[in-house]
Amino acid sequence: MTKKVLTAVFGLGRLGYWHALNVAKSRNAELVSICDVNLESAQKVAADLEVPKFTTNPDEIFQDDTIEAVVIASPTNTHFDLLKRASETGKAIFVEKPLTIDLKESLEIKSIMEQNQTICQVGFMRRFDPAYDAAKKRIAAGDIGEPIYFRGISRDPVAPHESFVKHSGGLFIDVSIHDFDIARYLMNSEIQNVSANGKVLKYPFMEKYNDVDQALTYIEFTSGAAGDVEASRNAYYGYDIRAEVIGREGSIFIGNLRQHDIQILTKAGNTHDILPDFPTRFTDAYTLELEDFFKVVLEKAVPRVTVEDGVKALEIAYAARESYHSGNKVEV
């Protein structure tokens, strides 16, 4: 039998459930334990996925030397502690974005991981999405010439629950961070500076957390390219994730609104479905990123999305948030 990575998952909420399912289904991993501070969630997911052990106490996972890898999908403000303990107890780590909620903590965790030689992959799953991946390959092959402009659109149909927003770091750090990462990746360039605007249009409760539900960030790359990143919680019609890279000799459009490639024609008009949510849009990407992670662990290789990528994306998101608050262009 081929070796399987014995894995535990932290956090079984909106996304953690899907990660637990993907670990359970993986040929290269075995889901041996799950942990959620909410006993009911842990119990339910353990029963659904037939996981041998569940707990509400993270210590039980860290003290178990047979567990080789952990997937961290708990709220962003809990990442730092879990990352630190996972690194110190010798686990390989897959951690959801953002790496940590605090930029200083992300630098501290990077240095802890370097000391402990921890394998850690950050959950920027767009890099594994077949459409973004194909775009990356076509850009690298020179099909559109030198990339000179990036446009990213990330719109959620509704705001997440208030308790999530409170610990999310805000729209730039929670949502735009995906586009900041994929922009660096597709454009093959660092982001030099950002100028951001934002507003609360629909969810007044966000004001309590100094957050916004709509934002636009203009970015300039060290390569001389430019771009813009829109983030929104107001796409009532569905989950709308798109991007465009304009090159000197062509342009690549990534993503569309449809889940299935069908149109329904009636006398009332022509309609098609719309992607409803992130688990549907990124089903393949969530599976592929974990498969890649387990291969990396088995081969002791370097992940496609490193801790350094996690830190860089957070630096850009912090700069965007600062620019929104100050009204100034901010160097990253």
* Binding interface with ligand NAD (CB under 6 A): 10-16, 35-38, 41, 58, 73-76, 78, 96-97, 123, 125, 164, 174, 278
Using the CB atoms, write b or e for 234-259: b if 16+ within 10 Å: ebeebbbbbbbbbbeeeebebbebee
Q: Give the position of tokens 């479905």.
A: 273
If the CB atoms of residues 174 and 220 are measured against ligand NAD, the closer one turns out to be: 174
Whole-number Å distance between alpha carbons of 86 and 208:
33
If the CB atoms of residues 75 and 250 are measured against ligand NAD, the closer one turns out to be: 75
Least distance CB 106 / ligand NAD (angstroms): 13
Q: Which two tokens stand for residue 206?
A: 């966000």
Residue nearest to ligand NAD (CB): 13
If the CB atoms of residues 11 and 147 are measured against ligand NAD, the closer one turns out to be: 11
Least distance CB 101 / ligand NAD (angstroms): 8
Least distance CB 249 / ligand NAD (angstroms): 32
Cα angle 282, 259, 278 (rounded to 5 degrees) comes to 30
What are the C-alpha distances in Å from 315 to residues 23, 73, 147, 297?
30, 21, 23, 27
If the CB atoms of residues 10 and 180 are measured against ligand NAD, the closer one turns out to be: 10
Least distance CB 263 / ligand NAD (angstroms): 28
If the CB atoms of residues 175 and 297 are measured against ligand NAD, the closer one turns out to be: 175
Least distance CB 81 / ligand NAD (angstroms): 7
Whole-number Å distance between alpha carbons of 314 and 180:
9
Whole-number Å distance between alpha carbons of 70 and 118:
12
Q: Give the position of tokens 């992940």.
A: 303
Least distance CB 127 / ligand NAD (angstroms): 11
If the CB atoms of residues 72 and 148 are measured against ligand NAD, the closer one turns out to be: 72
Tell me the three state secondary structure of residue 152: strand
Indicate the Cα dihedral angle 7, 11, 12, 18, nearest 10°: -60
